[in-house]
A = this chain, B = another copy of it.
Amino acid sequence: MTIRDQQREKVVALLAAHLLETGLTRISLRQLAEAAQVSDRMLLYYFPDKASVLASALERAAGQLATRLEELVPEGTCLKPAVLMSRLAALTTQEDLRPVMRMWVEVVAAARREEPFKTIAAGILEGFRQWLMPRLDLPDDERRDATTLAILAFVDGLALIDICAGGDAATRAADVAGLLFCK
């Protein structure tokens, strides 16, 4: 492990925390460098360009969510849509995961317009889709695919509500999820 690799590791960890805290606001190279406690010159020594810096840091940050999801619904579990939906809604509106979800909304919005976010967002969504689908207790494949997408839509939509109307509103919406959906 060279010094360069160690620094990359440290930088990625610091930047993931920075992005979760500030979102995609302060993401100029100079601002990222400050957050990572290195010079901007060195950031571009550790990484080929800004896109790579961001991709690494975002990937790291998104990992937090994946870990928590796996804890909540371990592999092999298979649940009815209503149950899975309300569990996921409850998890993602928890205080400590809200920054991840808010960041996710920003990444998707950025994905509409520019690389590297397009690739990053598509990859992350596809990952969650693959994770969710086998945990969904539905016989029909086509129906399971559509329901997976619908659950993801609802959960992601809660993050939008969170940003616009505050965490309380998102929590209230998450709470009715269980009642709203067919058992």
Q: Check B121 against A164 for contact (C-beta < 8 Å).
A: yes
Query: Looking at chain A's contact residues, is the secondary structure mostly helix, strand, loop, or mixed?
Result: helix
On whether the beta carbons of B157 and A152 are closer than 8 Å, the reply is: yes
* A180 and B112 contacting across the interface, CB-CB below 8 Å: no
Q: Do the beta carbons of B176 and A150 come within 8 Å of each other?
A: yes
A23 within 8 A of B: yes
Known: A109-B108, A112-B23, A114-B25. Contact between A161 and B172, CB under 8 A? no
User: A125 CA to B165 CA in the complex, in Å?
Assistant: 8
Total interface residues on A, CB under 8 Å, equals 50
- Decide if A175 is an interface residue (CB 8 Å cutoff): yes
Q: In the assembled complex, how far is the CB of residue A110 from the closest CB belonging to chain B, in whole angstroms?
A: 7
* Contact call A113/B157, Cβ cutoff below 8 A: no
> In the docked arrangement, what's the CA distance between A180 and B110, Å?
30
Q: CB within 8 Å of B: which residues of A?
A: 22-25, 81, 102, 105-106, 108-114, 121-122, 125-126, 129, 143, 145-147, 149-150, 152-158, 160-161, 163-165, 169-170, 172-177, 179-182
| 7 nearest A-B pairs in the assembled complex, by CB-CB distance | A157-B157, A109-B109, A153-B157, A149-B173, A25-B113, A146-B176, A125-B164
29 contacts between A and B (CB under 8 A): A22-B113, A23-B112, A24-B109, A81-B180, A102-B112, A105-B108, A106-B109, A106-B113, A108-B163, A109-B109, A129-B165, A145-B172, A146-B176, A147-B176, A149-B173, A150-B176, A150-B180, A152-B161, A153-B161, A154-B154, A154-B157, A156-B157, A156-B160, A157-B158, A157-B160, A180-B182, A181-B181, A181-B182, A182-B182
